[in-house]
Amino acid sequence: MRVLAPVLLLILALLASISLDAPLPPADLVLIERSDCYTLDPQRMSYQHELRRARVIYETLVNLRASDCAIVPGVAERWEVSPDAKTYTFHLRHDARWSNGDSVTSSDFTYAWRRAILPDTAADYSALYFSIRGARGFYDRRTEALKQFVTRPKDAQELWRTTASDFATTVGIETPDAHTLIVHLDVPLAYFLDLCAFPCFAPVHPPTVEQFVTIDPTTARIVQRHDWTKPGKIVTNGAYVPTVWRYKRDMRLEANPYYWDRAGVLAKTVECRTIENPNTGVLSFQSGAADWLTDLGPEYKTEMLAQRKAYLARFSEEMNAGLARGELSDEIVAQLPVPGPGERRDVRAFDAFGTDFFSFNCRPTLAGGKPNPFHDARVRRAFALAVNKDELIERVTRLGERVASTLVPPGSIPDYPVVTGLGFDTARARDELAAAGFVDRDGDGIVEDASGARFPTVDILYSTASPRYQNLALAMRDMWKRELRVDAECRGKDSKLYKEDLKKGYFMIARGGWYGDYGDPTTWLELQRTGDGNNDRGYSNAAYDARLDAARAETDPTVRLAKLAEVERWLFTEEMPLIPLCNYVTVYMYDPSRLRGIGEHPRLEQDISALRRRGVKP
């Protein structure tokens, strides 16, 4: 028996390995993503590809219709707004169910929103809830209580009971019954319903999550293990349930049998494959193995887009009139003849609701305690002024993006004024750096401060997920060396490690980017607010925060947008916490003659459950 035991263990291990590597059954829809999800916890998801998946795994009170981003019912079948626009009453549909058959209740939303607001969760989007009456005060009191607990330890369980009571009595969320949720705001918020459609506002299933929640007796913090997000344990209320998740390989989504709108879910099974190498992703798509490559990454995509343009150029001038990239609707392109040699119709570029940028570390000191030259706005302005963005777009990105000098994409939000920030001005850049005390005093080609100390070698952090990020970093490094006489080193890291360094402030300049989460300028401007979960720059300015607050309190919609425009102008002519480069262009790879349902709205809120292969009945 002792001899057989190791053999049996080996056989079991081999069988387990074979089962893990077994291919998944064919799915109704196959997607290729460049990165896997870091988490399936809706209160902690933040990247675009994560949020796209979150929208079909979970369902919020209201939804965004992909075709036009209009607000439509979700878990809430109807709602009322008070005359002063500060109280929202949501009526939840009685047929909303979790994937285990439980009813979705108003308390599920309260539980999830409390998780998001708690500083213990370290959620990126906690600040989005601060428009709810009492939410900011609750967050601040909990933060202070945790600090005090470290210096004056007491009963952690008792502190949590106090915190839970504080939330129930001071935060403006009421649940008069299982299917009614009432939310009280501090001030009217024009985009509150849009916020409620954002995935971090989705509910979670409390009995499932609570199995993995403990309280650390030494810090009193809520410790949330994330095993509940694994297939077999996760309980969802959206169109799909994850049934397989092999990290950095694939995820399988299957239609939720209890979802209230099951008839509207066109693809009953979805396979999301993770292929980090952009060339491999293209080859996989071209082999017929996938229906949609969500982010066309290779540098030769510019040539692929040229092939699409050549294809469309064969057809009438009327069809191409006024189309900068020859982008006809999918329904028209699907009916055109098959592309010939040197032509293609399976790629398409969309002007996206986002902006590419590089962030400055604005903290007073760098990691390790050394003084940070980028804490000085003059240094930040100098580096921004020395970047030739037209050259970056022409020679590096080569996608014809719009140059950006501010964050909010022009024309993306109705009635918001066009705002202009700093441009390219090398003479002023050198003057700004000199005003900050940095001049080449000894003629060695590197600027020094008044004591003779050289400007520190600039650490430029980027993610290796795309060659674009490295190429931009290298190009700007050379510009800063040429125009400002500073040394810089580029440091590439895997996406997960890059994100960790970004959050911890382990950089001087870092690659960044942002897609708008909701249809208002504050989706970009709040990123710079002191303490915001997505303020990776560590930028903090009381005057800026006060200007945002003043705009928030404005009840006249036109005046409010004008105030926000002035805030953005000041931010990007004076403060420069980051360098906007260009407004994103998103390039998808799919064949409209095979796949239908891709939305064309600039916000690109694609609904996976509404996609299907042509010829397949819904």
369 found inside a domain: yes
Asked if residue 541 is part of any domain, the answer here is: yes
- Given a cut of 80, whether residue 323 has pLDDT beyond it is no
Write the CA distances from 152 to 162, 220, 464, integer angstroms: 16, 11, 44
Mean pLDDT of 114-143: 93
> What CATH number does the domain containing 529 carry?
3.10.105.10
Q: Which of 236-245, 517-526, 561-570 has the lowest mean pLDDT?
A: 517-526
pLDDT digits (tens, 9 = 90+) for 164-213: 999 999 999 999 999 999 999 998 898 999 999 999 999 999 999 999 99
pLDDT at 5: 45
Parent domain of 445: 353-585
pLDDT of 187 reads: 87
The better pLDDT of the pair 468, 573 is held by: 573
> Does residue 262 lie within any of the structural domains?
no
| C-beta of residue 196 within 8 angstroms of C-beta of residue 61 | yes
Least-confidence region, from 117-126, 133-142, 523-532? 117-126
The whole-angstrom distance between residue 376's C-alpha and the CA centroid of its chain comes to 28
Residue 10 has pLDDT above 50, yes or no: no
**pLDDT, averaged across the chain:** 92
Task: Kindly report the pTM of this predicted structure.
Answer: 0.79
Region 490-518: mean pLDDT is 94
CATH code assigned at 63? 3.90.76.10
Is 608 a domain residue? no
Taking alpha carbons only, the member of 195, 214, 183, 209 closest to residue 108 is: 209
Q: Give the confidence band of 1 by pLDDT, cuts at 50, 70, 90.
A: very low
Tens-digit pLDDT profile for residues 334-352: 999 999 999 999 999 988 8
- pLDDT higher than threshold 80 for residue 310: yes
Measured CA to CA, the distance from residue 433 to residue 385 in angstroms comes to 10
* SS3 call for 567: helix
Last residue of a domain, one of 200, 217, 234: 217
Q: What is the mean pLDDT of residues 555-567?
A: 93
Average pLDDT over residues 72-90: 97
Mention every residue, 6+ apart, whose C-beta is less than 8 A from residue 332: 319
Does any domain span residue 292?
A: no
CA angle 165, 170, 172 (to 5 degrees): 120
Provide the pLDDT confidence category of residue 18 given band limits of 50, 70 and 90: very low
pLDDT value for 321: 52
* Average pLDDT estimate for 447-460: 96
Indicate the residue among 189, 217, 245 that finishes a domain: 217
For the residues 21-39, what does the mean pLDDT come to?
A: 89
- How many domains are contained in the chain? 2
Residue 88: pLDDT band with limits 50, 70, 90: very high
DSSP 490-545: EEEE-HHHHHHHHHHT--SEEEEEEE-SSSSTHHHHGGGSTT-TT-TT----HHHH
Q: Report the distance separating Cα 73 and Cα 63, nearest Å.
A: 6
Give, in order, the Cα–Cα distances in Å from 71 to each of 58, 332, 449, 518. Answer: 16, 27, 55, 11
Report the C-alpha gap between 139 and 353 in whole angstroms.
30
| 363-378 tens-digit pLDDT | 999 998 999 999 999 9
Residue 115 covered by a domain: yes
Q: Does a structural domain hold residue 114? A: yes
Query: Beta partners for 215?
Result: 222
The upper half-sphere exposure of residue 122, i.e. CA atoms within 13 Å in the direction of its Cβ, equals 6
